Amino acid sequence: MAHQNEVVDLATTGVSSGTSLAAAGAGPGHRVEQKLRNTNTWGTALRRDWRLYTFVVVPILFLLVFRYAPMFGNIIAFRKFRPGGSPLGEEWSGFHYFEMFLTNGQFWTVFWNTVILGGLWLLIGFPLPIILALLLNEVRSRKFKRTVQTVTYLPHFLSIVIVAGIVFQLTNADGTINQILHFFHVEPITFMQKPEWFRSVYIVSEAWQTVGWGTILYLAALTTIDDQLYEAARIDGANRWKQTWHITLPGIRPTIMVLLILNIGSFMAVGFEKVYLLQNPTIYSTADVITTYLFRVGVNSGQYSYATAIGLFEAVIGLVLVLSANFTSRRLVGSSLW
């Protein structure tokens, strides 16, 4: 019995994949040795784990069709696409469509709008959950902490459509914000008609919806910090602030870095759906971003190749950002996504 257990342990820790044949019931130790020779072939793996591979087939097919085929479909950024014609375009056009948007003034407006909005959100939206998590972590009453968490998580579960609806109602001429302004004798502001207000409205509503939920991973990371560290620090005379600075923050640094890398990677793809729902032509000068622009020229005006070129450009920037953020993080602080 003891012998058998040993074999099984080997197999499941993955020391040698061949030994798990024994675990699958192939038998006692002497046959394991025999099998070790050709464990590293796909044939053996398929024969041994074919049931597991059936689990992989559908998801991989799904990824190939719905994720990788569109990547391949980006080829129409380099080919002239005619609606109704071949889905892969008619003839090669080189970098024609890239030149088109790079020399287009409207493109640069939406490009900078995207960079500013994404950058603002990174600067403001990223630290907020960390701060809130630290504050929540200092709460001594469990009940109070739970309540705050329950309440602040809730907006995360709302549809963007509803969030947009709430934003419109609150910023309306008769909405709460204007009533507060009225109380201070400020003239009502038509927020959603004023380009200069769009970024504030976007950032505030985004913070409202995401800050609570954003704390969840940090709170999880906080639980893994060893209590003894705090005790040692207190004996050394560190106050709360110093404990936070020297123990808590370094303790959650890996989590912070991972989320920062992810955020940097997606910062060009600022919340497309929400921007789209909140914008209107009168505020395009600040509220139009790359994705909403490409949606209009692509889906609405049918310039598929042009819009695909813009999308590809944006996706490549995103990929480069993630890779460089990951590289930098690994070099500087030693934690990275991979």
Partner 1 sequence: MVTDFDTAPDIAHVRSSLTQIKPTPGTVAFRVFNTIFLTLLSLVTIYPFVNLVAKAFSSDGEIAAGHVNLWPRGFTTTTFHFVLTDPMFWLNYRNTLVYTVLGTVIAMAITTTFAYAISRPNLRGRGFFVGIAVFTMFFGGGLIPNYILVTQWLHMRNTIWAIVLPGALSVFNLLVMKSFFENFPTELEEAASLDGLSTYGVFFRVVMPLSKAVLATMTLFYAVGAWNSWFGAFLYLDDKTKFPVMMYLRNLIAGATGSVDIAGNANDAVQIGQNIQSVTMLLTVLPIVCVYPFVQKYFVSGVMLGSVKG
154, 186, 232, 249: which one contacts partner 1 (CB under 8 A)?
154
Site for partner 1 in 208-237 (CB under 8 A): 208, 212, 216-217, 219-225, 227, 230-231, 234
Interface pattern 112-131 for partner 1 (x via CB under 8 A): --------------------
Ranges of beta strands (E only) in 77-219 are 79-80, 91-92
Q: Which is nearer to partner 1, 84 or 105 (CB)?
A: 84
Please choose, from the candidates 23, 135, 161, 101, the residue with its C-alpha nearest in 3D space to the C-alpha of residue 305: 101
Instruction: Kindly tell me which of 59 and 94 has the beta carbon lying closer to partner 1.
Output: 59
Q: How far is the CB of 109 from partner 1 (least distance, A)?
A: 18
67 is a contact residue toward partner 1 (CB under 8 A): yes
| CA distance to 73, 79, 310, per residue, from 76 (Å) | 6, 5, 11
> Looking only at residues 306 through 335 of this chain, which bind partner 1 when binding is defined by CB under 8 A?
307-308, 311-312, 314-316, 318-319, 322
Alpha-carbon distance of 324 to 301, in angstroms, equals: 35
Span from 30-38, 91-99, 111-119, 152-160 in contact with partner 1 (CB under 8 A): 152-160
Of 120, 160, 203, 238, the one binding partner 1 by CB under 8 A: 160
DSSP state of 27: -
> Does 285 engage in binding with partner 1 (CB under 8 A)?
no
Of 209, 212, 213, 218, whose CA–CA distance to 257 is shortest?
Answer: 218
105 binds partner 1 (CB under 8 A): no
Residues 34, 38, 150, 324: which binds partner 1 (CB under 8 A)? 150
| Contact (CB, 8 A) for 290 and 268 | yes
**For partner 1, which residue of 174, 184, 187, 331 counts as binding (CB under 8 A)?**
174
212 neighbors 221 (Cβ within 8 angstroms) = no
In the structure encoding, which two tokens stand for residue 333, read together? 């602080």
**φ, ψ at 317 (rounded to 5°):** -60, -45
| Contact between residue 132 and residue 152 where contact means Cβ atoms under 8 Å apart | yes
Q: Restricting to residues 25-64, which ones interact with partner 1 according to CB under 8 A? A: 25, 42, 45, 49, 51-53, 55-56, 58-60, 62-63
140 binds partner 1 (CB under 8 A): yes
**Taking contact as CB under 8 A, which single stretch among the options 10-18, 91-99, 101-109, 116-124 is the one that binds partner 1?**
10-18
Give the C-alpha separation, 129 to 91, whole Å. Answer: 49
Cα–Cα distance measured from residue 236 to residue 175, given in angstroms and rounded to the nearest whole number: 54
Backbone angles phi, psi at 210, to 5 degrees: -110, -15
Q: For the CB of residue 104, give the shortest distance to partner 1 in the complex, in Å.
A: 17
Q: Which stretch binds partner 1 (CB under 8 A): 90-98, 102-110, 118-126, 304-312?
A: 304-312
User: How far does CA 34 lie from the centroid of its chain?
Assistant: 47
| Cβ-contact 110, 293 below 8 angstroms | yes
Interaction of residue 238 with partner 1, rule CB under 8 A: no
Interface of this chain with partner 1, residues 255 to 274, rule: CB under 8 A? 258, 265, 273
